[in-house]
Amino acid sequence: MKKFLSLILALSLTIALCTAARAENPIVQTAFTPDPAPMVYDGRLYLYTGEDSEEDNGFYNMTSWRCYSTVDMVNWTDHGEIMRPEDFEWADPGSAWACQCIERNGKFYLYVTVTNSGGRNIGVAVSDSPTGPFKDAIGGPLCGPNWLYIDPTVMIDDDGQAYLYFGNPNAYCCKLNEDMITIDGEIIQQEMTTEAFGLRPFQSDAPSSYTEGPWIYKRNGLYYLVYASGGVPEGISYSTAENPMGPWDFRGVIMEPGDSTTIHPGIIDYKGHSYFFYHGVLLERGGWNKRSTAIMEFKYNDDGTIPHIMHTEAGVSQLENLNPYELQQASTMSFSDGMRSVTDGNVYITSADGSGYIKVSGADFSGGAKSFSADVFADSGKMEIRLDSPDGKKLGKISLGGEAAGCNLSTGSGVHDLYFVFKNAESLRFESWQFGTDKNPAYGGSSALPAVLAAAGVCALAAAVWFVGFGRKKRGK
């Protein structure tokens, strides 16, 4: 039976200032995350992806759409599944393709690709929160059915007019009404010429290099359309225009094909930095249909062109340190090994075989850490807290499946990478954690320990009352 443990661990934190932490590509290891689509809202960067199945059916098997978010570009919080194809009653089960989310007037609109008997469709869902839950907004396709309608990308221009692009092997565009769930006018196919989208390598008879996965945005008055290009295997190219509906001028290749047959771009500015998202076969257990998101920082050239970007395992620098004294979700991490993410109404972290670790980058222990608590369930095994590497200095150990324990604590400080290392943790369910100080002990989350201690105090007081009262009467005093 799963047991809840709320634990206070002795910590001896050495002062060891680390070099600036960096992300590691892929940025998510607990699930496969194809087709990245970033969005900035209220000071936070949200990333929407698909989810390729761990099971290989011989084709692309995307089962849901997921959401992640960050404030430092290195530690990402997994918000779990936000929607499934089955949530569109008119769509075929298990027919998810790429998505993108955008905010307007306090509502969040998720544009997705799903399939039904007539072909592929662009559907739209709506939510009051960037992390969902999302619900079908119109009860049918926004665009489609048409087997060429995939990979929606959406932009709201400075004048408030919204535009939707999608399509393979042609690029289609339409205007959206202010309600974001109806089309204004007709769907227009772009001129698929070499001048607009470049020449497809090794295929002189192909009209253009454009393939699929468009990403539209505006910068300094110029419209950018970035897209998967060149056929299979795909690279990434881009074109620019002075009008959001074209005509487009081909500007060049951004990224050459990598180890995946497909690729999917996303570009966004956040906190003064420009970031380039794409997917590839980046996990050891991955494959051509089990893809993962990577991220690179880049700088535009002085003339506004995008530089050539190389595939790399190195990620981006951490923008700010993480506060370990705030209650943190266990799904917030910069890297992991052997772990999986599960959504069952909440999001929790488990282990594929009972072992593995979670890395949290750049935790700032200014003020002096004195305690630690974790909301973690397991039938057996142990959880170790270490500094700066999976086998680094051990700060404490939790015996999973045992009794809650407490002990005296030592003060420590400094900026460290934290590692939560699990060994033989059967039926693991890790939900949240928090460090504490003298003034604010780490009794966060749904800890049962304070209640246990309070109950013990009440029992002791009751026993004392009984002894002084009833006990004295029995002795005739």
Whether residues 308 and 376 fall in one domain: no
Contact 427, 412 (CB under 8 A): no
Rg of the chain over CA atoms, in angstroms? 26
- Omega of the bond prior to 133 within 30 degrees of 0, cis? yes
CATH of the domain at 269: 2.115.10.20
For residues 73 and 46, state if they share a domain: yes
In a domain, 7, yes or no: yes
Determine, yes or no, domain membership for 457.
no
- Tell me the CA distances in angstroms from 185 to 182, 286, 415, 458, one per residue in order: 10, 42, 55, 72
| pLDDT for the residue 203 | 63
- Report d(CA 408, CA 445) in Å as an integer: 21
Whether residues 301 and 336 fall in one domain: no
Q: Are residues 391 and 244 in the same domain?
A: no
Q: Choose the final residue of a domain: 256, 280, 312.
A: 312
Both 103 and 230 in one domain: the answer is: yes
Q: What is the mean pLDDT of each run of 10 residues along the chain (477 residues)?
A: 40 38 86 97 98 88 96 98 97 94 98 95 98 97 98 98 97 98 98 94 76 98 97 96 97 95 97 98 92 97 97 93 95 96 94 95 86 87 90 84 46 82 93 83 46 33 35 38
Please check whether residues 232 and 289 belong to one and the same domain: yes
Burial class (CB in 10 A: 0-12, 13-18, 19+), 327: middle
Specify whether 132 is located in the same domain as 66: yes
Instruction: Tell whether 456 is covered by a domain.
Output: no
- The tokens describing 421, both together, are 């290392």
- Owning domain of residue 401: 3-14+321-446
Q: Are residues 156 and 294 in the same domain?
A: yes
Q: What pLDDT does 207 receive? A: 78
Last residue of a domain, one of 251, 278, 312: 312
Residue 128 is encoded by which pair of tokens?
Answer: 């009051």
CA 351, CA 425: separation in Å to the nearest integer? Answer: 8
- What confidence score (pLDDT) does residue 50 get? 97
Indicate whether 472 belongs to any domain. no
Instruction: Say what the pLDDT of residue 150 is.
Output: 98
Position 357 in a domain: yes
Count how many domains the chain has: 2
What secondary structure letter does DSSP report for 87?
A: G
Domain final position from 264, 281, 312: 312
- CB of 426 within 8 A of CB of 378? yes
Residue 468 included in any domain: no
Residue 21 pLDDT: 66
| CATH number of the domain where residue 442 is located | 2.60.120.260
**Residue 458: its pLDDT value, please?**
31
Q: Are residues 168 and 270 in the same domain?
A: yes
Q: Does residue 9 sit in the same domain as residue 118?
A: no
Helix, coil or strand: residue 457: helix
Is there a single domain that holds both residue 227 and residue 339?
no
Do 303 and 327 sit in the same domain of this protein? Answer: no
Which pairing describes strands 332-333 and 266-270: parallel, antiparallel, or unpaired? unpaired
Domain presence at residue 475: no
Tell me what pLDDT residue 400 has: 86
- Is residue 168, in this structure, part of any structural domain at all? yes
